[in-house]
Structure 1
Amino acid sequence: MTDMLSENETAAHVDLFSKFDPLIEMRRNLLSTGQEDPFGLVMERVVSPTVAVCNGRETILLGTYNYMGMTFDPDVIAAGKQALDDFGSGTTGSRVLNGTYAGHKAVEQALCDFYGMDHAMVFSTGYQANLGIISTIAGKGDYIVLDIDSHASIWDGCKMGDAEVVPFKHNDIEAMEKRLRRIPEGAGKLVILEGVYSMLGDIAPLKEMIAVAKKYGAMVLVDEAHSMGFIGPNGRGVAEDQDCLDDVDFVIGTFSKSVGTVGGFCVSNHPKFEIMRLVCRPYVFTASLPPSVVATATTSIRKLMHAGDKRAHLWENSKTLHKGLKDAGFQIGTDEPQSAIIAVIMPDLEKGAAMWEALLHEGLYVNLARPPATPANMTLLRCSLCAEHSAEQVQQIIGMFTRAGKAVGILG
């Protein structure tokens, strides 16, 4: 024991943070010129779904994922206040113990009604929904075939479940089929796709991809986080819009975007789905959502069933902003508007950060997205439109982008 201690005492000290040194240096360089931290903005007051006070100034919000503008809906807020009065601030327990209140069953029923499916399971976040469902249904000896641009929560769910992970080139149907063809006969197979990919705002050819997956006997999970509430005749997402929702085994979604609160969910028609409540670790071993949160979510989801006018207005906003920025000379992530996300491609991180700051000084907040989170090492200014943005605000935004682009030298 003495020898072991002396050996340990003389061993070189390893700083576990050293792996982050390149990122620390990049951030230091970015802020050394007096640049405001694009990942540390504080909103001092939120006025509405589209306006907040940042640095003492009223700022148009164009980077919040509040697609349907439900965060200030009077009915949603009233439901949350009532639940606080009736049930208190939290459950202090897991769903399988004391953490299931009437509100948790009500929000799951609202999801079943919204999607027209038999089963719904609510998680504390959208991240946990992917982590829990994927890691539980695909384990050692199974195969997961997924798009290379999949969200971090999807990748983490794959890793946690210990299945064999087989990625394919983004939105490439032929590449996906090649991967499926090579999987051994009789192995469990799960194909994971997203309706809208959050970085560029592009959609997947779900109908064709799901047909290929079914041809090889794979189950299909589709993450509709960025399309739920907005895309499709009833707001059920890209799978509904492409008329293939009935062929999807699991739909994953979140409350933190169109629903306007926090939480995650999975809906399914699989007859054995309810067993997930006992075997899914990120569901079993975490506290359930507070009563006020599930009450706001239930009210919001039920209102989104009848939000056709809002969906139409959001599409108009998306088309107008996409065309306006393209006409101004910016490089956009998609040729045509495909969702509520408009990604503006920057030459590099330094120019992107300067543009982000120039827009903030104009009174506009957008997301600065950087590698490795972005595809192909791109730096993006990601714009997330809201159904509550007025036509006048969208025109203001185009003007702000144009002035900022000229000021930092991105536009000629």
Structure 2
Amino acid sequence: MSLLEKLDAAASARIAQLPSGLGAFGIPIEEIYSPTEARIGTKRILLLGTNNYLGLSFSPECRKAAHEAIDQEGTGTTGSRMANGNYSGHRALEMEFADFYQCRSCIVFTTGYQANLGTISGLIGPGDVALIDGDSHASIYDGCVLSGADIIRFRHNDVIDLEKRLRRLGERSKNTLIIVEGIYSMLGDQAPLADIVRLKKAYNSTLLLDEAHSLGVLGETGRGLAEKYGLIGEVDFITGTFSKSLCGIGGYCVSNHPQLDQLRYVSHPYIFTASPSPATIAATRAALKLLKNGRELRERLWENARQLYSHLQALGYQVSPEPGPIVATILDSPQQALALWKGLLENGIYVNLILPPAAPEGKSLVRCSVNAAHTTKQIEYVCEVFSRLYSSIIQ
């Protein structure tokens, strides 16, 4: 099979899952009105499929900061951090993130994907081991592949399986990077971090925690799962993204290890990529300030999340293992998931459709993401539509 024929085969598999003309993936959003409303085609819709957890995408502070940065520094840096793209704003944001986490240092990357790609491939290499949760994000898998290290998967959130694999590694556990996530993006469940930290200490391994979906969501000040458990000082490296609670584009890694700064000289995804635009950096700095003081936003987010989760559970839907900003409805077949997704969209509700192999264990998901800007009335409407669709799709 030629290179292009392989792509044709992938397209055929996708078409087989989707009815003709149903553009479930990459559906264009024509206009954005607010963190919770937009227009698709001619229909005004409720946004319930974004990662805008704190609802900051239209905050006056972030918009003002971005506008001022464009006026003062232009639209882009046109170079990498190692060349001409190292502006004072980049360094300021790194210092602010390090201070936020009370860590020694921080590196800012151009995307959240590159934060994992660059950190992982810089930390480990051939002869080392990447011991990763089986439900890890693609950026984690790709970072491990780029590193050339041996990749071992343990069963999702299974600390017994994790310890078994650490034990089998013997002396190699000292050259092992354990990688887990704060909140997993498909089902919205959280890593058993306290047990994982205990194991990494017992086997003298190194731990990287990806807080992409938990930054701003968990912890007293929004620092994520590590803060929730009081374990920030016990996690060796924390990565995350600006594209969710901070409503921008970019990523970061923080650590108390002085070796983090050496990644600037060995990490190709950092060295050979243009740095984030001035507007992105300025908006992210403004959003970080709002996140730090965002207790009320987090409380509102969790009120919405628990309301939706408990209602779907009471209706009889199979939902995520625990409540959180990601509320996934788990369906047995792509056909059921498509019908539910389409029914929601026809009623003016935009959610995410996740089909195999992206969904865990061969299931299909309709994935909702609530945020702090959703009103009680909006959440009630979503619950009402799910209720109406249940009998026709699930039963």
Q: TM class by shorter-chain length?
A: over 0.9
Residues in 2 aligned to 1:340 and 1:288: alpha-carbon distance in whole angstroms? 30
Aligned twin of 2:65? 79
Q: Which residue of 1 aligns with 2:116?
A: 130
1:86–1:171 Cα change, 3 Å: same
Counterpart AA for 2:375: S
1:392 aligns with 2:377: yes
1:298 maps to 285
The structure-2 alpha-carbon separation of the partners of 1:402 and 1:244, relative to structure 1 and needing over 3 Å to count, comes to same
SS in 2 for 1:71: coil
1:140 corresponds, among 126, 136, 145, to: 126
- What does residue 179 of structure 1 align with? 165
2:221 paired with 1:241: no
* Counterpart in the other structure of 1:205: 192
Q: Does 1:362 align with 2:347?
A: yes
CA contact (8 A) 2:185 2:326 kept: yes
Question: How far apart, in 2, do the equivalents of 1:160 and 1:105 lie?
Answer: 27
Q: Is residue 298 of structure 2 the alignment partner of residue 314 of structure 1?
A: no
* Structure 2 partner of 1:378: 363
Measure the CA separation in 1 of the matches of 2:20 and 2:270.
Answer: 45
Match of 1:29 in 2: 16
Unpaired segments of 5 or more residues in structure 1?
A: 1-13
| Contact 1:169–1:175, Cα closer than 8 Å, also in 2 | yes
Aligned pairs (5 A) from 1:48-87: 48-87=34-73
* Deviation for aligned residue 1:142: 0.8
Alpha-carbon deviation of 1:145? 1.1
Q: Name the aligned partner's letter for residue 127 of structure 2.
A: G
Over 6 Å off, 4+ runs:
none
For the pair 1:102 / 2:88, whether they are aligned, the reply is yes
Query: CA deviation digits over 1:170-194, x for unaligned, max 9?
Result: 1111111111112242651111111
Unaligned runs of 5+ in 2: none
Distance 1:32 1:237, change over 3 A: closer
Aligned-partner Cα distance in 1 for 2:131–2:20:
44
Name 2:2's counterpart in structure 1. Answer: 15
Classify the secondary structure of the residue corresponding to 1:133.
Answer: helix
Alignment counterpart, residue 102 of structure 2, candidates 116, 123, 127 = 116
Find the aligned partners of 2:204 and 2:169 in 1 and give their Cα distance: 11
Whether contact under 8 Å (2:331, 2:337) holds in the other structure is: yes
RMSD: 1.3
The CA deviation string for residues 282-326 of structure 1, in whole angstroms up to 9 with x for no partner, is: 000010000000000011011110000110111111110001111
CA distance in 1, matches of 2:332, 2:381: 24
Q: Contact 1:362 / 1:404 at 8 angstroms: preserved in 2? A: no
1:43 corresponds to which of 22, 29, 33: 29
* Residue pair 2:38, 2:45 contacting (<8 A) in 1 also: yes
Matched residues in 1 for 2:23 and 2:181: separation? 30
The sequence identity of aligned pairs, in percent, is 44
Aligned to 2:178: 191
Going from structure 1 to structure 2, the CA distance change for 1:189 and 1:316 (only over 3 Å counts) comes to same
Tell me, yes or no, if the aligned pair for 2:354 and 2:367 is still in contact at 8 Å: yes
1:348 pairs with 2:333 = yes
In the other structure, the counterpart of 1:215 is 202
User: Does the Cα contact within 8 Å between 1:222 and 1:248 map onto a contact in 2?
Assistant: yes
- Whole-angstrom CA distance in 2 between matches of 1:81 and 1:158: 37
- SS of the aligned residue for 2:3 comes to coil
- 1:93-148 superposed Cα distances (whole Å, 9 cap, x missing partner): 00011001111112112211221111111111111110000011110111111111
Counterpart amino acid of residue 364 in structure 2: T
The CA distance in 2 between the partners of 1:175 and 1:192, in whole Å, is 14
- 1:254 paired with 2:241, answer yes
1:195 Cα deviation (Å)? 0.8
Contact 2:218 2:228 in 1 (8 A): yes
Conserved 8 A contact 2:240-2:251:
yes
Task: Select the structure of larger CA radius of gyration.
Answer: 1
Q: Give the counterpart letter for 2:383 in structure 1.
A: I
Cα separation, 2, equivalents of 1:22 and 1:344:
29
Judge which range, 65-74 or 109-118, deviates more: 109-118
Structure 1 residue 159 and structure 2 residue 156: aligned? no
TM superposition score normalised by structure 2: 0.97
* Counterpart residue type for residue 265 of structure 1: Y
Amino acid across the alignment from 1:327: A
Report the Cα offset of residue 31 of structure 1. 4.5
Deviation at 1:259, TM superposition (A): 0.3
Distance 1:343 1:67 in 2: 15
Q: Quick check: 2:354–2:364 contact (8 Å CA) kept in 1? A: yes
1:327 Cα offset (Å): 1.3
Q: What is the distance in 2 between the residues matched to 1:78 and 1:190?
A: 40
Helix, strand or coil at the partner of 1:402: helix
TM-score, with normalisation over the residues of structure 1? 0.93
SS state at 1:292 partner: helix
Q: CA deviation at 1:30?
A: 4.3
Offset at 1:22?
Answer: 4.6
CA deviation map 1:145-173 (0-9, x unaligned): 11111111000000000111111111111
| Alignment of 1:283 onto 2:270 | yes
The count of aligned residue pairs is: 394
